[in-house]
Homo-oligomer: A and B are copies of this chain.
Amino acid sequence: MLLDGINKAFESKARLGIMSVLMVNESADFSTLKSLLSLTDGNLASHTRALEELGYIQCEKRFIGRKPNTTFVATEAGSKAFSAHLQALEDFLNGVKKP
């Protein structure tokens, strides 16, 4: 089946979105991701935690003035895995279109 390369870690719309943003931008902070992807705090936090545990993104917490700020970057492993996933999706789509 053509689904072999599809990575469960990136299945959901939210995770596709998070990784896409972090591939195109050096980094993105929590509130930027939240508004770009229209996610709730809890939802975004659970997806970023999962991606962090998989080693696909890194999270930096710091303070800007008195406000806590959390920034995310894609790791090299994350970029590679996500590229492979996108390629797998593309192969799958090509396979479905030309059965």
User: Are A6 and B11 in touch, CB under 8 angstroms?
Assistant: no
CA distance A24 to B17 in the complex (A): 29
Check: A90 CB closer than 8 A to any chain B CB: yes
Check: A13 CB closer than 8 A to any chain B CB: yes
Q: Which residues of chain B have C-beta atoms less than 8 A from A6's C-beta? A: 13, 16
Query: Which residue from chain B places its CB closest to the CB of A19 in the assembled complex?
Result: B96
User: Are A92 and B16 in touch, CB under 8 angstroms?
Assistant: yes
CA distance A5 to B34 in the complex (A): 18
Q: Which residues of chain B have C-beta atoms less than 8 A from A36's C-beta? A: 1
Could you list which residues of chain A lie within 8 angstroms of chain B, going by C-beta atoms?
Answer: 1-3, 6, 8, 11-13, 16-17, 20, 23-24, 36-38, 86, 89-90, 92-93, 95-97, 99
